[in-house]
A and B are shown apart, each in its own frame.
Chain A
């Protein structure tokens, strides 16, 4: 399940299940969105991105969905593996500007 509060939101899933991580972004002018994965002790690592002229983009085992109407982004991970355990961040920006704003992050824990 997922919990939100003062602590980092946590999502626990069984190995092999699909994971969905949600993100609400703040700026309606943002037109470029990125998902990052941060493993313990490492820097955030790019997973997948999507521009505002699309509502869905697929990568290897990952899919990003964008709903501009409600300013919502989601990351779907298929057949979640123990190596997917990490903190996942969504980020928003505009393609003409240097400022990239990160969401609060969601900790994904995969149960073997």
Chain B
């Protein structure tokens, strides 16, 4: 059973479109995250939610809007996609003070 799952695994879209990535965790963790990994493999935190509340928003453009309907889900909606948004997006979950568990990633390509 997958602990942290994301859909879709690949997303190819045109500039200007709006898209969403979904994430679910079945670990019972209180905290969920979105990370962006660029072409140089650098992992940068975007958002963190604890029990459905936004805890961290790391100066991400407001075209990115996370939504947490419950503590097991954290979705990422992106408006007006730009070329620079192309990256791999990872969802993760944890209990505070314990390791993050990552999903398999969503490779977003903006054409």
Q: Which residues of B contact A8 (CB under 8 A)?
A: 40-41
**Chain A, 54-98, CB within 8 A of any chain B CB:** 87, 89, 91, 93, 95-98
Q: Is A45 an interface residue (CB 8 A)?
A: yes
Identify the B interface with A (CB < 8 A): 4, 31, 33, 35, 40-45, 48, 50, 55-56, 90, 92, 94, 96-97, 99-105
B102 pairs with A44, CB closer than 8 A: yes
User: B97: which of A36, A45, A96 is its contact (CB, 8 Å)?
Assistant: A96
A89 pairs with B43, CB closer than 8 A: yes
B99 pairs with A34, CB closer than 8 A: yes
Q: Which residues of B contact A96 (CB under 8 A)?
A: 96-97
C-alpha gap A49/B90 in the complex (Å): 20
User: B48: which of A38, A87, A99 is its contact (CB, 8 Å)?
Assistant: A99
Tell me the smallest distance from the CB of B95 to a CB of chain A, in Å: 10
C-alpha gap A97/B41 in the complex (Å): 24
B41 pairs with A105, CB closer than 8 A: yes
C-alpha gap A102/B36 in the complex (Å): 11
C-alpha gap A87/B102 in the complex (Å): 15
A100 pairs with B104, CB closer than 8 A: no
